[in-house]
Amino acid sequence: MAPGDDSRTATEGRRTMFAAERRQRILELMHANGAVSLRDIAQAVQSSEVTVRRDLRILEADGLLNRHHGGATLPGALATPPGALSREPTYAQKAQVAAAEKAAIAELAASLVEDGDAIVIGAGTTTQLFAQQLTRYAELAVVTNSLLVAQALANAPRVEVVLTGGTLRGAILALVGSAAERSLAGLRVRRAFISGNGLTPERGVSTPNMQVASVDRALAAAAEEIVVLADHTKIGVDTMVQTVPTDEIDHLVTDDAAPRDVLDELANRAVRLHVARP
C-alpha cells in the first residue's frame, strides 16, 4: 500500500459512516413527523441542503421516502408508524417543528380576520402564533380553550377574550372536557381557526386524543366557516380521532412544503387553499 493510502481509506470510511448515520437520522425524523422540510432536515443533521438533497435521492431510490418540492414524505405504507395514531406530542415538542413555516401560516391566516369579527380559536402552537397576529385588530371577540392563545391576546386592549371552562390538559396547555364543550353550546361566530395533528383528504382533521377532538368539534360547530391551520408535517398524516371531516373544511392555510398531490386532492374536495411561503 502506498504512503498515505491508510489515511485516505480511514477518511473514506468516516465519510461512509457519517453518511449512513445522517440518513438514519433523516429516516427517524420522517417516522416521527410523517413529512419534513428540506430546511428542517438540514438543521437537524447539521449538513448543507445540497448534501441532504443527495441523501433524499438515495433514500427515495431505496423506496424509503418520497421527495417533493422543499422536503420529503414517507411512502403511504409507512406514513403512520407504530404508535403514531395515538401519540400526542407535547406543546414543547411541537414548538420545535417547522417554526418558520408556522409563523408564515399564522401571518397569512390573520388576513382572514377583519375588525369587528367574532371568532373561535383552538389549541396548538400554530394557533398561538396566529393569535399573536391579532393584537392589531379592533373590536375583535375571541373565544378559545387555549391558555396560550389567551396569553397571546392578554394585553390587546381592543380584543375581548373569553376562555371556555374545562379541565386543563397540561401537555397542550388547553381546556378540555364537558365543561369546555358546554360553554361553546349555542355560540355562533364567523370563523373557527383550528389546528390538529393530521389532515388527509379522506378523513379531514384528526388528533390522537378523544377529549381534544370533542372540544375541537364543538369549536368548529360554532362557526359559519372552518379554517384549518396546518404546516406541511401534518398534511397527509392520519391520527386516531377525526375532528372535522374534509367536506366541512372551508379554508386550509399551510406552507409551500406541503405535498402537492395531497393539496390538489383537498382542492378537488372544495377546500380553499392558502399557501404561505416562509
What 148-152 contacts at long range (C-beta under 8 Å, 24+ apart), as own/partner pairs, is: 148/91, 148/123, 148/173, 148/174, 149/121, 149/123, 152/128
Under a CB-based contact definition with an 8 Å cutoff, are residues 206 and 234 in contact?
no
Mean pLDDT check: name the lowest of 41-50, 145-154, 251-260.
41-50
Q: What is the pLDDT of residue 86?
A: 46
Q: What is the pLDDT of residue 31?
A: 72
Classified by CATH at the fold level, domain 91-276 comes out as Rossmann fold (3.40.50)
Q: What is the pLDDT of residue 13?
A: 40
Q: What is the pLDDT of residue 90?
A: 56
Residue range(s) of every CATH 1.10.10.10 domain in the chain = 5-78
Contacts of 24 (CB under 8 A, 6+ apart): none
Under a CB-based contact definition with an 8 Å cutoff, are residues 260 and 273 in contact?
no
- Per the prediction, the chain carries an average pLDDT of 86
The highest-level CATH class for domain 5-78 is mainly alpha
Which three three-digit cell numbers place residue 253?
Answer: 392555510
- Dihedral class, residue 221 (left if φ above 0, else alpha if ψ from -120 to 50, else beta): alpha
pTM of the model: 0.70
Under a CB-based contact definition with an 8 Å cutoff, are residues 211 and 177 in contact?
yes
| Burial degree of 173 (CB within 10 A; 0-12, 13-18, 19+) | buried
Under a CB-based contact definition with an 8 Å cutoff, are residues 271 and 227 in contact?
no
pLDDT (tens digit, 9 = 90+) per residue, 15-28? Answer: 444 788 898 888 87
Four-residue CA torsion sign, 266, 268, 271, 274: positive
Average pLDDT over residues 111-134: 97
pLDDT confidence band for 41 (50 / 70 / 90): confident
Four-residue CA torsion sign, 136, 140, 275, 46: positive
pLDDT (tens digit, 9 = 90+) per residue, 47-83? Answer: 898 999 999 998 888 888 888 767 787 765 444 444 4
Whether 7 has a pLDDT exceeding 60, the answer reads no
| pLDDT greater at residue 84 or residue 183 | 183
